[in-house]
Structure 1
């Protein structure tokens, strides 16, 4: 991280962006951004945003939207940006695009804007956060994008900064005020609660993330399963989905679980992994180091690539 990376961001006020985000269901952009009129684009020239974290769509709701589109058409235009070869990338509105395909529409209404990758991520985050059916994992991902944009840094560095500010808010009152203003407009939670209760969503195992994103698993239950020993995750997930365990029942089950006892070989291997390092090998007497290097090479040969 570069020195003073978090000091006095020069980006447009996030409060201004959010307060005007209803315009075109997105955020206002710099003056050099061209805003196109609504036009109908063929379905087959549009493609999803590959950086879009929202990858799962409820099939039942998608079919219901498709039926509505058959009767009334696509009421709200998509936002797209031009690509090479006459193609367009969807900034937001992928759900409408998918439903329009199910409905058999040849084209959809869209506004075309020339956008940078950073602007696309900001617009997509703000638009998606307005959705009522947004799952907790995606909600946290989008909010983190907005925080990163506010601080003009990466999501990874934004996580670190959020934790620093939670522990020492007096270290930068200006940034704390920016966060409070941002989360006031977003609603639902304050930024310290987001740090404590939201960010853990990003550390969930992939199987639990998928279950949360598809709406099969409640976020609070996913957190409980994640606290259990890893070897029990698959069985717990299956049990919760099949038996519809309550939060209280799952809490009791997780509290009783213990890690599977390791065999002596497993324990020795774990201990060996902690001990082997170039620095530690370098401290050995020459004869012991040569012997250790031979054993490492032999172990590598036995285990293969």
Structure 2
């Protein structure tokens, strides 16, 4: 059962966010507002912000549901007279299907698409098992809604405000209020330590979302030469190396890469003599002179 991490605040994002928090606080299937709905009448939300569901974890939850039932209600909204769309609780719904139960406890509320997306985002942020990548993505969605823009534009705006908060003191105040409600970190820390997670290579994102790689280690691996990242990922996941060991491995790889480049320069300098150039054919000499000219232009920039 997830715990409500959001503190009440009169300086909340807006009434929609407060409403989302209130919905997410309904955690008991015996709550008077909760009813039992046929499992077949409930369908998943195609806009569900959560994209990954661990199969082993689902099987464990299904076994728990067989023994104890669904302990936390779903939030659904009506699509028609006998059909409902999940706003949050899809993992419980999937596990209930595996468990073979016929009904699920549900809280039914009329919500617009915008409200449903916001409520789903807030509920996902309360999950104890939330990985850092999804946490950052969910928070950025809230910030984008707060600013009335896209997630990409919101990320850029956050970086601008970090560099110079005086650009828009009102937006800074909104961010302070939002992160006070969300808890766990301040907005400046989110920009510095959170946003870089969204730029990770896909293979590292999958490892973070799957729970096999700490996001802090993923950031370290992303700084290494790309050709070495798969091996570093295996080392971090299979050998469970520490952060210090991972840093040492990356430093060694960078020194090796640098030494290789320096050796190539030394070897090239030995060959670039008039005597060697004179031995080239006319075509080879023309190509060599063109490359030398390009190198001069690059180094002169």
For 1:114-153, list aligned pairs within 5 A.
114-153=110-149
Q: Which residue of 2 aligns with 1:106?
A: 102
Q: Which residue of 1 aligns with 2:22?
A: 23
Q: Which residue of 2 aligns with 1:14?
A: 13
More displaced 10-residue stretch of structure 1: 228-237 or 125-134:
228-237
Partners of 1:254 and 1:191 lie apart in 2 by 30
Partners of 1:18 and 1:185 within 8 A in 2:
no
Shift of residue 108, structure 1, vs aligned partner = 1.1
Shift of residue 246, structure 1, vs aligned partner = 0.8
Pair 1:72-2:71 in alignment:
no
Partners of 1:53 and 1:21 lie apart in 2 by 15
Partners of 2:133 and 2:197 within 8 A in 1:
yes
Partners of 1:126 and 1:96 lie apart in 2 by 17
Q: Which residue of 2 aligns with 1:248?
A: 244
Structure with greater Cα Rg = 2
Partners of 1:87 and 1:256 lie apart in 2 by 59
Stretches of structure 1 lacking an aligned partner (at least 5 in a row):
1-11, 28-35, 265-305
Stretches of structure 2 lacking an aligned partner (at least 5 in a row):
1-10, 27-31, 265-301
Partner SS, residue 14 of structure 1? coil
String of CA shifts for 1:267-295, please: whole Å, max 9, x gaps.
xxxxxxxxxxxxxxxxxxxxxxxxxxxxx
Pair 1:226-2:226 in alignment:
no
Shift of residue 256, structure 1, vs aligned partner = 2.2
Q: Which residue of 2 aligns with 1:212?
A: 208
**Alignment TM-score, normalising by the size of structure 1:** 0.72
Partners of 1:221 and 1:247 within 8 A in 2:
yes
Q: Once superposed, what is the RMSD of the aligned Cα atoms?
A: 2.8
Pair 1:39-2:38 in alignment:
no
Partners of 2:162 and 2:48 lie apart in 1 by 28
Partners of 1:177 and 1:17 lie apart in 2 by 18
For 1:176-195, list aligned pairs within 5 A.
176-195=172-191
Q: Which residue of 2 aligns with 1:163?
A: 159
Shift of residue 77, structure 1, vs aligned partner = 1.8
Q: Which residue of 1 aligns with 2:89?
A: 93
Partners of 1:236 and 1:19 lie apart in 2 by 43
1:51–1:251: structure 2 CA closer, same or farther, 3 Å change rule? farther
More displaced 10-residue stretch of structure 1: 100-109 or 64-73:
64-73
Q: Which residue of 2 aligns with 1:303?
A: none
Shift of residue 21, structure 1, vs aligned partner = 4.2
More displaced 10-residue stretch of structure 1: 67-76 or 230-239:
67-76
Partners of 2:90 and 2:65 lie apart in 1 by 14
Partners of 1:87 and 1:162 lie apart in 2 by 40
Partner SS, residue 198 of structure 1? helix
Partners of 2:77 and 2:53 lie apart in 1 by 22
Shift of residue 67, structure 1, vs aligned partner = 2.8
Alignment length, in residue pairs? 244
Shift of residue 63, structure 1, vs aligned partner = 3.2
Partners of 1:113 and 1:51 lie apart in 2 by 17
